Each structure stands twice: as C-alpha cells, then as structure tokens.
Amino acid sequence: LVDTFGRDVVQKECFDWYDGSHEAYSGTQLPAALIREATGERLRMSVSQLERYAACPYAYLTRYLLKLQERDVWSPRAADTGSVLHGVLELGIRALAEELSRAVSEEERGEVLARWAAMDYDAYALSCMKTVAERDGYGLFFDAGIRASSGRRVLRMGAATLRAAVGQLTDGQAVPVCTEWRFGENGQSPLRLRVQGTDILFRGVVDRIDTIGGTDGELFRVVDYKSGDVRFDPDKVYYGLSLQL
C-alpha cells in the first residue's frame, strides 16, 4: 500500500493504527505521526465516521485518510443513445432521398424502394453508426467493453428503426425531400408569430420532411424522431407541456 504522501506503508490484509485493541483486525499499526499528518493536530470526525471505523477500519482508512475514490466509468446516457440513433436515421434516409431524387420514372423509383426494402440493415446501420461516431464524437460506442453491451444494443435499435422508417416509404406515396432542415439559423428564415403586437421568431431543426404525391405534391408531413417512449397526451399539448408531441 502506498499512502497519499507517496511512501510505502505496509502490505497487510487489515490495519489498526491507534492501539491495536481490535482483535478482529490484527495487523500492523500505522505510525501516529503519519496519521496526524493526514488529519491535523485536531481530529475532526462525525458519528458516521466512527460507525465506519467500527464496522471496518480498513474502509475508514481508504475513505477518510487516503481519500480514495472510485474510478469514473463512462456509460452512454439516454441522450447519447438518442443522438447516435438520430444520426443513423439521418444518414440512411438522406441517402434514400438522394437515390429517389435521381429516379426519372415510377419504375425506377420502385426499383430503388425494392432494393432498400431488401437491404442488409445490420451492416448498413453499422456503417452509418461508425460515420456518426467519428463525426459527432461518439467513438466510445466502439470501445470493446461498451460495444459488447450498449454498443450492440444501439446497433440493433438503429437497424430496426431504419428498417421501419424505410418500410413506411415503400408504398411510394411519401417521398423524403429534406432531412435536418434548419430554420431561423445561419440566415434561414425563422418561423414568425406575432403575439400582442410583438414578433416572436422561432428557430429549430426539423428531422425530416416528406411530400405526398411526388416531389411536387401539395401535401407534406413533418417527421420528428423520438428515441424514448413518447406518448401523445392531449392535456400536455393543451397546456403547452408537449408542443413537439
């Protein structure tokens, strides 16, 4: 064991550094001078510290004298998982939209949709996930330990979600025309609402916009990706608590 001052102390299973009165913890006493150096001339402690010492002197040593702390272990948060899934959908749907935009006939569009419907989504989602990890700083998802647990789960979710999103487009009625559309930023026109004589300018990002009836269709739909268990609650919408549904 090396103490907080960088000196070798002892290598024993247990320590009793005051008077050796605890028979259950036979070991080598730490020098009193060393303890005073760590605690100061006046030993300040709480009742919980006394209880910790009574339960396990070694635990008292590590926590209150050596002040050891557990090593931080990174684990993906829900927001990290959502961002990666969001990126996988963004890349996948954008690629599909580009292929559909190059199709010059309904037959070609049908071939594009059929090819995407039969795609190996596991392999494609993995490729997209690697791109997102490198682009947005989520490389830890590919750490050996993280990938063995959370990384694989996110990959399965990404493949399943992308498959479902493409499946919603295979009827050919809706066509994705825009992904990650920003408004009110970088010179883009904001959403302007006038309330009681005051203009309110909104900014934001739309995950995806589809048109209905071809790229020149008069109908459109706005798609917002949600990775959590979001349920429609009319009361929350009415009271402004869930404006994004």
pLDDT score of 191 more than 60: yes
Provide the mean pLDDT of the chain.
Answer: 79
Residues paired with residue 211 on neighbouring β-strands, in sequence order: 175, 220
**Position 212 confidence tier, pLDDT thresholds 50, 70, 90:** confident
Residue 214 φ then ψ, to 5°: 95, 170
Nearest to 90 by CA among 170, 158, 152: 158
pLDDT at 72 (0 to 100): 67
Share of the chain above pLDDT 70, in %: 82
Convert the pLDDT of each residue in 121-174 to its tens digit.
999 999 999 999 889 888 878 877 676 677 788 889 889 989 988 888 877 678
Give mean pLDDT, residues 225-231.
Answer: 76
pLDDT recorded at residue 120: 94
Q: Say yes or no to pLDDT of 45 above 80.
A: no
Inform me whether the pLDDT recorded for 216 exceeds 50. Answer: yes
pLDDT value at residue 18: 44
Q: CA 179 from chain center: how many Å?
A: 21
Whether the pLDDT of residue 87 is over 70: the answer is: yes
Cβ–Cβ under 8 Å, residues 151 and 159: no
Report which of residues 146 and 62 the model is more confident about.
62
Residue 197 region by backbone torsions, left for phi larger than 0, else alpha for psi between -120 and 50, else beta:
left
Q: Which of 157, 181, 175 is nearest to 116 (CA)?
A: 175
Query: Which range, of 136-145, 213-222, 223-232, averages the lowest pLDDT?
Result: 213-222
Task: Work out the number of other CB atoms within 10 angstroms of the CB of residue 109.
Answer: 18
Mean pLDDT of 85-98: 91
Residue 17 — pLDDT band, cuts 50, 70, 90? very low
**Cα dihedral sign, 37-43-49-54:** positive
Burial class (CB in 10 A: 0-12, 13-18, 19+), 43: exposed
> Full-prediction pTM beyond 0.85?
no
More confident residue, 35 or 148: 35
pLDDT at 91: 93
**How does strand 191-195 pair with strand 198-202?**
antiparallel
Question: Average pLDDT in the 32-44 region?
Answer: 76
Lowest mean pLDDT: which of 59-73, 148-162, 205-219?
A: 205-219
On the question of pLDDT at 101 being above 50, the answer is yes
